[in-house]
Amino acid sequence: MSSRIIRVGLLAAYLRELVETDDVMQDVWVEGEISSFMVAGSGHAYFTIKDEAAAIDAVMWKQTRARQSFQPRVGEQVVVHGGATIYERNTRFQIRTDVIYPAGAGILQLQLEQLTQRLEAEGLFDPSRKRPLPPFPSRIGIVTSESGAVWHDIQQVVQRRYPLVELVLAPAVVQGDRAPDSVVNAIQRLQAADVDVIVVARGGGSAEDLWAFNDERIARAIFASAIVVVSAIGHETDTTIADFVADVRAPTPSAAAEMIVPDIAALSLFVDDLRTRALGAATGAVDASSRDIAHLQHRIALLSPRAQIGAMRVSLEAERRRLRSAAHHVIERRGLELELARALLRAVDPASLLNRGYAHVSRDGSAEPVRSAAMLNKGDRVRLAFADGNAQATVDSVVGNPVAS
């Protein structure tokens, strides 16, 4: 038996290795008609491209297909790019497709689509990595032609809006075969120029004029920049790969300048408004503090010993007036009572009786008054006391009281 006999699987693997290590087979562009197209449950697309001579199977993986803007249909003429392989299970030749485009688009457009998808897959367009513009830049780096209108337009806009900023020009060729390397060098020079933001700018032109900004070298230089990059390529309807990678895309170079620098007139109004609001807030705070201080001073005055002594003095003076008034009333009442007592005393005073013609009778030599006729005997000596003097008498007879009898 021949020693050259090999197993089917080994032969299939050998064929696959031959195809996948061939440089030509890994970078093929194929044009033909879509004769079948099917999307599996996994999201992978399987289709066939044919012409009048042959048919070739192709596959596009789910992730690649998700980035594909053009969705082909059966019967359409297309151009696909990819790398050939051999599916070992049935030794089927197929193309692992990374780009599919309508036929007639042109090789440059197809290459651009391929590069766009590859860079997107690498994350160069990821929105999460894009950085915001600095709010108040002091130095701006400009990558553009030093002789073009773009440099003049940017200067004019910046001078009008925010003359405080400094513009640093990094001259570059912005069209033709020399443009990619020139732009990359300018971006790299500005990395050490202490600028806050970089503008990569070019005026309007045809697609061919702007094609340099679809170059992978420029895209990777923008991606690698440690400084925020603004793309301002052509007009608003023009789009390049540089726009996808840049942190911020401006529709025109002049618009880029408008976006990057603030308007000093608007800032002045804003500052004036802040000053007015701050003054109002400060005045309000001072007024509130003054009211608080006055309230505290009032409370301190009420709680101070001097205030308490003053309050006690007022209370003591009021109490003194009350006591003086009460004492006055008591004295008046006691005076009236005394006058009444005096009147009563005068009424019962023996002298008063004597003045009315009565006499005080007592035994001679005794001060005891004679209160009854029965106390006297005939011949007793008695003393008669009158209001104006005394007299002595002898009792001639004693007659009993008619009332008593």
**DSSP H or E segment with residue 401:** none
Which DSSP string corresponds to 34-79? EEEEEE-TTS-EEEEEE-SS-EEEEEE-HHHHHT-S----TT-EEE
pLDDT band at 265 (very low <50, low <70, confident <90, very high): confident
Residue 259 backbone zone (phi > 0: left; psi -120 to 50: alpha; other: beta):
alpha
Give pLDDT, residue 1.
47
Q: What is the largest CA-CA distance in the chain?
A: 211
Q: How do beta strands 92-102 and 55-60 pair?
A: parallel
Token representation of residue 208: 């061919």
User: What confidence score (pLDDT) does residue 57 get?
Assistant: 94
CA angle 113, 114, 115 (to 5 degrees): 95
Measure the CA angle with vertex 92, ends 88 and 93; round to 5°: 110
What average pLDDT does the chain have? 86
Three-point CA angle 105, 110, 113, nearest 5°:
120
Express each pLDDT in 276-308 by its tens digit. Answer: 888 888 888 888 888 888 888 777 777 777 777
CB atoms within 10 A of CB 128: 5
pLDDT given at position 3: 63
Residue type, 393: A
- Do β-strands 28-39 and 77-87 pair in parallel, antiparallel, or remain unpaired? antiparallel
Q: Which amino acid is at 229?
A: V
DSSP state, 104? T
Say whether pTM exceeds 0.85: no
Residue 204 belongs to what H/E stretch? none
pLDDT tens by residue, 97-145: 988 888 766 677 777 877 888 898 889 999 999 999 999 999 999 999 9
Q: What's 1's DSSP letter?
A: -
